[in-house]
């Protein structure tokens, strides 16, 4: 029993992508992305649905989904802040930025706010070393961060 189904748009996208790869299994990552954009995270129902669609087992889909950091296997907040913690960002003060966000939101990295408005995650190198420190807010990069910039961003979301 699977309660999850693709929207008609995603069904269409899936069919179009099928023409672009020599084998169906290549659609695993693109399909997981479609699920995540549709539902916000990848539910067990969706995994069962994808397994059927890609002619494999749910465990196989789960194994792939759990390997890649960006696939959320649990719901995340409306605003997902992912702050880079790797060396170039650390050298330019990412730790202070992280602490400031934690204090403002009242959560630690890896947690959601109770109202599920915010999720704060520490991530590895975002490839923004020349404009460090950097974070990604719902997939949009915010670079050259300062405490003032963070305040302005969080104020605009309040």
Partner 1 sequence: MIVKIVSKNFDIPDSHKLHVALKHGRYTSLEKLFSMEPAEVVEEVSKSGLRGKGGGGAHTGDKWKLIPKNHPLPTYLVVNADESEPGTFKDRQILEFDPHLVIEGIIASAYAIGANHSYIYIRGEYVFWAKRMQEAIDEAYGAGYLGKNIAKSSFSLELTLHRGAGAYICGEKTALLESLEGKRGHPRLKPQGKEPEWFFGAPTVVNNVETIASVPYIIKNGFEAYRAYGTDNSPGTMLFGLSGHINNPGIYELPFGVSMKAVIEQIGGGVLGGKELKAVIPGGSSCPILRADEIENITLDYESLIKHGSSLGTGGMIILDESVSMPLAMKNLFEFYHHESCGQCTPCREGTGWVDKILGRLLTGDGTQEDYKTMLGACDMLNGKTICVFAPSVAFIANSYIKKFKAEFDALCKA
Given the rule CB under 8 A, which residues bind partner 1? 20-23, 25-30, 32-33, 54, 63-64, 67-71, 85-88, 90-92, 123-132, 136, 139-141
| Token pair of 28 as six digits | 């695993």
Q: How far is the CB of 114 from partner 1 (least distance, A)?
A: 26
Contacts for 20 with CB less than 8 Å, ≥ 6 apart: none
Cβ nearer to partner 1, comparing 27 with 76: 27
Residues forming a β-bridge with 111: 120
- Residue whose entry in the numeric block shows the structure tokens 């050298």: 91
Q: How far is the CB of 131 from partner 1 (least distance, A)?
A: 7
Our CB check for partner 1 shows the closer of 8 and 130 to be: 130
- Would you say 72 or 113 has its CB closer to partner 1? 72
Compute the least distance from the CB of residue 82 to partner 1, in Å. Answer: 8
Report the residue number, 2 or 26, with the smaller CB distance to partner 1.
26
Strands 79-84 and 135-137: antiparallel
- Gap between the Cα atoms of 26 and 90, Å rounded: 36
Pairing of strands 118-123, 140-142: unpaired
Smallest separation (angstroms) from partner 1 to the CB of 87: 5
Measured in degrees and rounded to the nearest 5, phi and psi for residue 126 equal -90, 0
């Amino acid at each position: 029993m699977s309660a999850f189904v693709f929207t008609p748009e995603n069904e269409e996208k899936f069919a179009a992508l099928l023409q672009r790869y020599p084998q169906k299994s290549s659609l695993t990552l693109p399909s997981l992305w479609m699920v995540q954009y549709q539902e916000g995270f990848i539910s067990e129902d969706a995994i069962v649905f994808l397994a059927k669609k890609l002619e494999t087992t749910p465990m196989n889909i789960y194994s792939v989904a759990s390997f890649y950091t960006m696939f959320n296997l649990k719901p995340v907040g409306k605003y997902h802040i992912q702050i880079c913690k790797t060396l170039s960002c650390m050298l330019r003060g990412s730790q202070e930025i992280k602490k400031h966000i934690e204090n403002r939101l009242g959560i630690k990295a890896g947690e959601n706010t109770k109202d599920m408005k915010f999720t704060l995650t520490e991530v590895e190198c975002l490839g923004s070393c020349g404009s460090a420190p950097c974070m990604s807010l719902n997939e949009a990069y915010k670079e050259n961060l300062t405490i003032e910039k963070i305040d302005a961003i969080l104020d605009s979301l309040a």
